[in-house]
Amino acid sequence: MMLEIRNFSKTYKGGKKAVSNLSLNIEPGDLYGFAGHNGAGKTTTIKAIAGVLDFEEGDILVDGSSILKDPVACKKKLAYIPDNPDLYDYLTGIQYLEFIADIFEIPSSAREARIRRYAEDFELLNDLGDLIGAYSHGMKQKLAIIAALIHEPKLMILDEPFVGLDPKAAKTLKDIFAQLCQNGGAIFFSTHVLDVAEKLCNKIAIIRQGELITAGLMDDIVGDSSLEEVFLELTDHE
C-alpha cells in the first residue's frame, strides 16, 4: 500500500473536530481525488499525511512507514505541495531548488538534469536566476511543483494543485501525474474542480464535515451520473 490512513481523527485546540475517524487506502498507480466543501477537513487530512500537522488519534502509513513514528523516512518518499505555496522570497529560484535538493540529499550528478528537465517542462528555466519575490503566483506554483519533483517521490500529496496554473502548465502537471502513476507511484490531491477530478482520477473520496462519506473507484461512484451531481447529492442531502 502506498498510503494507508487508519482511523485518523484531528481535534484542534479549543475542541473543534476537523476530521473524524477517517480511513483510506491508496495503492501504487492510484490517482486519487479528494473532494469536499470548504472546511470539510481536506487540508487538515493532507497536512497530516505530509507530516506538517500533529495528530493524536489514528495513524498514517506512507509506503509502510508511520508518519508518527518515522516522519523523516515518510517525508523522503513523498512530495507535498500546499494550496498556496509561500516560498522563500529572498532566494532565487535556483537557490531554492538547490536547497531542496540538498535537504533531500540528491547527488550533484543527478540534480542538474532533473532541474533542467522539469524547469523546461514548466517553462521556468530562464527565470531561475531571479528572486522568488519577483515571481508571479503561477511561477511560484510551478517552482513549488519542480521542487516537489526533483527527489522523484513515490507519493505526491497536493492541495488544490491546479489553482493558479496556466493551461499549458496544468497539462504538463497532468502528464507528470500520469507518468508517475504508470511508474508505480501514487497521487492524492484535493480539488474543487470536479470535472478535472472526474477525467483525471481513477479513484475519489468525498468528505463532509470531517467524515468520509464515500470512497472508491470513480466509475463505481459516478456510474451513469456525473461527479458533480453525485457530489452535490452526497454533500447536501446526507
Partner 1 sequence: MSKLWSLTRLQLLGWFGLNKALHTKIPGQRRKNLFTAVGAIFLILYFTGISYVYSDQVGKAFETVEALPLLPGLMMATASLVTLMTTIYKVNGTLFNFRDYDMIMALPVKTAVVVASRMMALYLLNIGFVLMVMVPAGVVYGLRAQPEPLFYGRFAVSLLMIPFVPIVAATAIGILIHLVSAKFRYKNLLNILLSAAAVLAFMAGSSSFNAEGVNIADITGALTGLINNIYPLAGFYVNGVVLGQTTAFLAYLLLSLGVFAAFAALVGYRFKRIHTRLTAASTRRRFVMGAHPQEGSTPLRAMYARELRRYFASPIYVLNTAFGVILFTAMSVALMFFRPESIGQLLEMPFFADYISRMAPLMASTFMALSSTTACAISLEGKALWIAKSAPVKAMTVFHSKLGVNLTVTLPAVLVNGLLLMGALKTGPADSLLLLTLPAAYAVFMSLAGLVINLRYPFLDWMSETQPVKQSASTLITLLVGMGSVAGPLTLVIKYPQLNAHLVSFGVLMLLIILSAGLYAYLAARGEKLLKSLES
Binding site for partner 1 (CB under 8 A): 13-14, 50-54, 71-76, 80, 82, 84-88, 90-91, 93-95, 98-99, 101-108, 111-112, 115-116, 119, 125-131, 133-134
Q: Which is nearer to partner 1, 51 or 58 (CB)?
A: 51
Q: Tell me the closest approach of the beta carbon of residue 120 to partner 1, in angstroms.
A: 9
In our burial notation (b when 16+ CB lie closer than 10 A, e otherwise), range 195-215 reads ebbbebbebbbbbbbbebebb
Q: Tell me the closest approach of the beta carbon of residue 69 to partner 1, in angstroms.
A: 12
Q: Which is nearer to partner 1, 75 or 208 (CB)?
A: 75
Rounded to whole angstroms, the Cα distance separating 192 from 51 reads: 23
Q: Which is nearer to partner 1, 113 or 232 (CB)?
A: 113
Rounded to whole angstroms, the Cα distance separating 29 from 84 reads: 26
Q: Which is nearer to partner 1, 123 or 228 (CB)?
A: 123
To which H or E segment does residue 213 belong? Answer: strand 211-217
Q: Tell me the closest approach of the beta carbon of residue 160 to partner 1, in angstroms.
A: 14
Q: Which is nearer to partner 1, 21 or 95 (CB)?
A: 95
Q: Which is nearer to partner 1, 161 or 201 (CB)?
A: 161
Q: What is the residue type of 31?
A: L
Cross-strand partners of 8: 22
Using DSSP's 3-state secondary structure scheme, residue 205 falls into strand
Q: Tell me the closest approach of the beta carbon of residue 44 to partner 1, in angstroms.
A: 11
Q: Which residue reads 472526474 in cell numbers?
A: 198
Q: Tell me the closest approach of the beta carbon of residue 130 to partner 1, in angstroms.
A: 5
Cross-strand partners of 32: 188, 203
Residues in the chain: 238
Q: Tell me the closest approach of the beta carbon of residue 128 to partner 1, in angstroms.
A: 4
DSSP 8-class letter at 120 = H
Give residue 4's Cα distance to chain centre.
15
**Nearest alpha-carbon partner for 214 in 225, 224, 195, 227:** 227
